[in-house]
């Protein structure tokens, strides 16, 4: 019997990754104000969050934000996954640039530095039966992991290329102002780490989390019939 996976994200890249891995999730928009959430957590800690802390915290918030959603009038009955990504270079953590001017300035800096680290946070909640399943190992019913991958950019990036790339709009709503499964793939020459983590979700990490709840990975494999919310 297939165990449903609910993805607290509307990212086309994460959806494509899961589909390629044989998993057809139900997409649910989490509606989390990421910048505000990071500011609140930083205020609670009294210091800025590290890149790993940022993506783990936001992944958890996103997963927890959708737990009360119903599908066809029924509560979620399966595994709930939240994910988040951030790009770190030159000692700073960057999320989505949103604005073309910011994306272009970021790319100019990344081209000059030449490398950085993409961080992907994952938070999985065992919601089988319609409520979080708690245990001594998972007192909240959830578990999280962070994956990272180091990237090297081409050393001959042309300012005209960067301007043209930003004008496509592709980098505006993705962490780090690039996506390796799109036009920016031509600008990245080397990856060290889990390749799927660069897209925003480490499939091996997800498999490990799933198995940690006693669910065999292949029980998530489905045919592409699930919908989205």
**Unique residue bearing structure tokens 């205020």:** 43
Catalytic residue of the set 68, 84, 126, 155: 84
Distances (CA, A) of 131 to 51, 70, 134, 213: 30, 12, 9, 14
Residue in the structure block whose two tokens are 């609910």: 6
Q: Which residue is it, tokens 């004008």?
A: 167
Q: Nearest Cα to 58, choosing from 49, 46, 70, 67?
A: 49
Q: Enumerate the β-bridge partners of residue 124.
A: 81, 143
Q: Is 156 a catalytic residue?
A: no
Q: Going by DSSP bridges, is the β-strand pair 188-193/142-153 parallel, antiparallel, or unpaired?
A: antiparallel
DSSP letter assigned to residue 92: E
Question: Across-strand partners of 7?
Answer: 27, 81
CB contact at 8 A, 217 and 3: no
**CA-CA distance, 161 to 34, in Å (whole number)?**
30
Catalytic residues: 84
């Amino acid at each position: 019997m297939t165990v449903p996976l609910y993805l607290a994200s509307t990212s086309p890249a994460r959806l494509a990754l899961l589909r390629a891995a044989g998993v057809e999730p139900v997409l649910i928009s989490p509606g989390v104000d990421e910048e505000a959430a990071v500011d609140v957590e930083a205020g609670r800690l009294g210091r800025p969050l590290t890149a790993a802390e940022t993506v783990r915290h936001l992944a958890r918030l996103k997963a927890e934000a959708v737990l009360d959603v119903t599908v066809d009038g029924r509560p979620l009955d399966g595994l709930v996954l939240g994910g988040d990504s951030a790009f770190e270079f030159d000692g700073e953590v960057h999320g989505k640039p949103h604005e073309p001017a910011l994306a272009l300035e970021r790319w100019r800096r990344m081209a000059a530095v030449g490398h950085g680290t993409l961080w992907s946070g994952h938070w999985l909640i065992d919601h089988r039966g319609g409520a979080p399943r708690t245990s001594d190992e998972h007192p909240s019913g959830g578990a999280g992991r962070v994956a990272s991958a180091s990237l090297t950019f081409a050393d001959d990036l042309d300012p005209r290329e960067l301007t043209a790339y930003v004008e496509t709009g592709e980098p505006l709503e993705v962490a780090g102002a690039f996506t390796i499964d799109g036009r920016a793939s031509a600008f990245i020459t080397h990856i060290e780490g889990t390749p799927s983590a660069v897209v925003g979700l480490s499939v091996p990490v997800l498999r490990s989390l799933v198995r940690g709840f006693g669910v065999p990975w292949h029980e998530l494999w489905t045919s592409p019939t699930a919908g989205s919310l």
